């Protein structure tokens, strides 16, 4: 019994020592914070930074942010027209994403965070109380010996009738966007859910491939990245 007590005491002392050795955490940062009046507050923790600016699609130029006593930089903008917008921070001249925000813009050349300013009534890309389809990631072997990737949307009820056939809409992004862009930024799945529920679109499958195949092949084979494609393509089958 004494051995068990000694082991327990030792474990507790080790745990407390590990907790005491951890560096102190900074203040909790909430960003972005969208208010009911459509103004938005952006925050970034950088106590040692000399200058932090907000760069956002809804602004013509980067906006200077102010620092509080805890080292949190902030700025409030708006009201902003309801929509989804990319933004980033410029910290002493270096562009970074918002570490307090899990929503981001998938792209080969840049990684911006996303802010969703909701409308007074739900926008077409908003999550609504309607039947929802499924979005999955699919992978396939390519002719070049690499692994290709797709994001696939299937409509509500797709799995209930395996023999039913659906039209397939191929949605391919151009320039430097990835296969995730139409899903994570364009909210393709929610738009189709809402349009189908309103009777404005037929149930369909949407296939979103990676548009810059040459870049993916070069990445997986260790080659140099080719020039970016300049246009996007939409195909129906």
Q: Model confidence over 132-145: pLDDT tens digits?
A: 999 999 988 877 77
Domain ranges of the chain: 33-117, 134-236
| Residue 165 reports pLDDT greater than 80 | yes
Q: Model confidence over 87-107: pLDDT tens digits?
A: 999 999 999 999 999 989 887
Helix (H, G, I), strand (E, B) or coil at 70: coil
Q: Does domain 33-117 have CATH number 3.60.10.10?
A: no
**Using alpha carbons only, how large is the chain's radius of gyration in Å?**
24
Q: Model confidence over 117-126: pLDDT tens digits?
A: 999 999 989 9
Indicate the average pLDDT of the chain: 83
Q: pLDDT band at residue 191, thresholds of 50, 70 and 90? A: very high
Structure tokens at 184: 């994570």
> Nearest-CA neighbor of 66 among 78, 76, 80?
76
Q: What is the arithmetic mean of pLDDT over 59-68?
A: 93
Q: Which residues contact 209 (CB under 8 A, 6 or more apart)?
A: 148, 149, 150, 170, 172, 179
Considering the four listed CATH numbers 3.40.640.10, 3.20.20.80, 3.40.50.360, 3.40.50.1820, the one that applies to the domain covering 134-236 is 3.40.50.1820
Q: pLDDT band at residue 18, thresholds of 50, 70 and 90? A: very low
């Amino acid at each position: 019994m004494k051995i068990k007590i000694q082991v327990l005491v030792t474990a507790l002392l080790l745990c407390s020592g590990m907790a005491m050795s951890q560096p102190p955490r900074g203040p909790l940062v909430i960003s972005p914070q969208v208010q009911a009046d459509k103004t938005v507050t952006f925050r970034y923790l950088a106590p040692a930074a000399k200058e932090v600016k907000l760069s956002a699609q809804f602004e013509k130029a980067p906006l200077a942010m102010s620092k509080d006593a805890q080292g949190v930089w902030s700025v409030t903008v708006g009201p902003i027209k309801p929509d989804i917008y990319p933004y980033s921070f410029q910290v002493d001249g270096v562009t970074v994403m918002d570490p307090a925000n899990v929503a981001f813009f998938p792209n080969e050349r840049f990684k911006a965070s996303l802010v969703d300013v909701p409308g007074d009534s739900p926008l077409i890309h908003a999550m609504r109380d309607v039947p929802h389809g499924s979005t999955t990631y699919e992978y396939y072997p390519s002719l070049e010996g690499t692994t290709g990737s797709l994001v696939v949307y299937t409509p509500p009820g797709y799995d209930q009738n395996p023999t039913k056939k659906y039209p397939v809409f191929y949605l391919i992004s151009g320039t430097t966007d990835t296969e995730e862009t139409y899903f994570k930024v364009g909210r393709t799945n929610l738009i189709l859910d809402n349009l189908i529920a309103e009777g404005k679109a037929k149930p369909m499958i949407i296939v979103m491939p990676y548009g810059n195949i040459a870049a993916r092949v070069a990445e997986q084979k260790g080659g140099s990245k080719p020039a970016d494609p300049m246009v996007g393509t939409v195909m129906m089958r």
